[in-house]
Amino acid sequence: MEQFDVVVIGSGPGGYISAIRCAQLGFKVAIVEKYLSLGGTCLNVGCIPSKALLDSSEHYFNAVHHFEQHGIKIKDIKPDIKQMINRKRQVVKENSDGVAYLMKKNKITVFNGIGSFVSPQQVKVSSEKGTQELSAKYFIIATGSKPSTLPGIEIDKKQIITSTEALELETIPKHLIVIGGGVIGLELGSVFARLGSKVSVVEYLDRIIPTMDGALSKELQRLLKKNLGFEFYLQHKVLSAVKKSKEVIVTAQNKNGENIELKGDYVLVAVGRRPYTENLGLEKAGINTDERGRIIVNDHLQTSQPHIYAIGDVIRGPMLAHKAEEEGVFVAEVIAGQKPHINYLLIPGVVYTWPEVASVGYTEEQLKEQSIPYKVGQFPFKASGRAKASMDTDGFIKVLAHQTTDEILGVHMIAPRAADLIAEAVVAMEYKATAEDIGRICHPHPTFSEAFKEACLDAFEKRPLNF
Ligand code: FAD
Ligand code: NAD
């Protein structure tokens, strides 16, 4: 039996970052991963491969639709999906190899196999090579999540697929039906729409990206329709998806109780993800889960066993890589006796469509619900010189500030490079900046970031300079 200070189960962004921080703090650390490729969902079948395909498809789309206007003439532009998938695989491999290097550099022992508790003090690692038992003072569960599905739908992994298969698709669908108007549906829908697929999104609720500020849902829906020809079926409850010869037929019920049928060659089921705790032996460790299968943790991220912690997608909160990472560092520092802190309100959310969508803090709907008095400032990219130069004039930045104190309470944007722009808003809010503070800070010209300053000036005293 090998003994460690800390054993981490799962090598996603939660697990591997936590292992590194534990090692930095002087602990003897092991990490257990069931797949040979380290990095979890994020590096292998999530954030990284989806962004690789989003980038490739965006280059193609721009070449077809925008290059001529920029004065670049190219003949016979064709998408080569096989090469796009190959490049994506290469990107994944480089990232995963990078994690393996980091484990080595930080002297973290990697065990390949399925980790499962045999008791609260021991984990068994099972692989084709046999089993091995590890004991530790502390354990960190970071086993992540898997795609959810719906009753009436069987994922065949060929035509009725989840994001995992969509990221390996070597054919461009003629008609891709996406079930779920959330992040995965819209990102992967964008990839294929840019490559020429017709994309229809069937969403149960009355708006897409339903957890984000309503203004973003509305504008993103309008832009995906206008720019990529997306069709939306909102307030439709999917009843079934059935294969019939080469087609898949999706039946959904609209708000009037009528059934509609959509026929496509591929159906992407993107209705959320569920925590993954199969084969983990939680019962043997005496660890409790909630009604949604998530491991229950307290404010220190301790499970019902105080020496066993859980982080990332397998616990409550948004299923985001950077949230998992923050929790990974947090737990390592708690174990080391430090007093770390995570402000969950300031975990930004991004949708990598084009334009990108990004958000941090309270939405306008939440401020209304909680009767917090607020004022709104907004700046459209059509008034930005930088956006005109790059032909990216769609979208806006919306700033919500406290009515009396002027403190920034929420920032919501649909913007070119919103994923990067939102970082300034996070910093501002972390330091409790007011809209006036940002309005008085010099921003480089010409940049997209000036739009944040302008939206803040609008929120502060309704005095944007360029609009
Ligand atoms: P995971 O990354 O899921 O890692 C868990 C690991 O544990 C896996 O490697 C798994 O094999 C392993 N494991 C599970 N059980 C065991 C066991 N018993 N023994 C050993 N190993 C085990 N988030 C973002 O922030 N930005 C994005 O752009 C983004 N894009 C995404 C795109 C897609 C298509 C998907 C599906 C997700 C995306 N996400 C994104 C979400 C992000 O991937 C997750 O939030 C993140 O990976 C969660 O990290 P984690 O460490 O909790 O778990
Ligand atoms: P999601 O929760 O973002 O969206 C699921 C959508 O499906 C929701 O809009 C929901 O209303 C809808 N839905 C649920 N049941 C339905 C039904 N029966 N019929 C029609 N629609 C239905 O989930 P996702 O898109 O599957 O993504 C899973 C997780 O992965 C998310 O939590 C997300 O945070 C993470 N992710 C993040 C990124 C990113 O940060 N850019 C990218 C991809 C995935």
pLDDT digits (tens, 9 = 90+) for 405-420: 999 999 999 999 999 9
DSSP labels, 201-269: EE-SSSSSSTTS-HHHHHHHHHHHHHHH--EEETT-EEEEEEEETTEEEEEEE-TTS-EEEEEESEEEE
The pLDDT tens digits of the residues spanning 263-317 come to 999 999 999 999 999 999 999 999 999 999 999 999 999 999 999 999 999 999 9
> Mean pLDDT, to the nearest integer, of 33-46?
98
- Is the predicted pLDDT of residue 205 greater than 90, yes or no? yes
pLDDT of residue 1: 87
Structure tokens at 186: 């819209």
pLDDT on residue 137 = 98
Centroid of ligand 2 to alpha carbon of 273 (angstroms): 7
Ligand 1 in reach of 163 Cβ (< 6 A) = yes
Reported as half-sphere exposure (CB side, CA atoms, 13 A), residue 317 has a value of: 29
Whole-number Cα distances in Å, 181 to 82, 140, 188, 315, 453: 27, 33, 11, 23, 31
Length of the chain: 467
Give me the pLDDT at residue 238, please.
97
In the prediction, which pLDDT does 285 show? 98
Mean of the pLDDT values across residues 342-349? 98
Supply the residues annotated as catalytic: 445
Ligand minimally distant from the alpha carbon of residue 13 = 1
- So what's the pLDDT on residue 217? 98
Q: Residue 375: CB partners within 8 Å, gap ≥ 6?
A: 400, 401, 402, 403, 459
| Mean predicted confidence (pLDDT) in 50-77 | 97
Which atom of ligand 1 approaches the CA of 32 most closely? 20
Q: What percent of the chain has pLDDT over 70?
A: 100
Residue 144: band (very low, low, confident or very high) from pLDDT cuts 50, 70, 90: very high
As a whole number, mean pLDDT of residues 241-263 equals 96
Ligand 1 pocket, residue 13 CB under 6 Å: yes
Q: Which domains can be identified in the chain, with CATH numbers?
A: 2-147+274-344 (3.50.50.60), 160-271 (3.50.50.60), 355-461 (3.30.390.30)
Q: What is the pTM assigned to this prediction?
A: 0.98
Mean of per-residue pLDDT scores for the chain: 98
Determine the average pLDDT of the residues in 153-171.
97
With CA atoms as reference, report the closest residue to 181 among 155, 150, 210, 213: 210
The CB of 40 under 6 Å from ligand 1? The reply is yes
How much is the average pLDDT of 395-414? 98
Q: Give the C-alpha separation, 319 to 312, whole Å.
A: 7
pLDDT (mean) for 33-57: 98
Cα of 148 from ligand 2 centre, angstroms = 9
Q: Report the separation in Å between the CA atom of 154 and the middle of ligand 1, taken as the mean of its atom positions.
A: 22
Spatial separation of the C-alpha atoms in residues 382 and 414, rounded to whole Å: 12
Average pLDDT over residues 421-442: 98
Per-residue pLDDT for 154 more than 90? yes
Mean pLDDT on 194-203: 98
Instruction: Give 358 Cα–ligand 2 centroid separation in angstroms.
Output: 15
Judge residue 280's burial from the number of C-beta atoms within 10 Å of its C-beta, 0-12 exposed, 13-18 middle, 19 or more buried: buried
Residue 152 has pLDDT above 90, yes or no: no
Would you say the CB of residue 356 lies under 6 angstroms from ligand 1? no
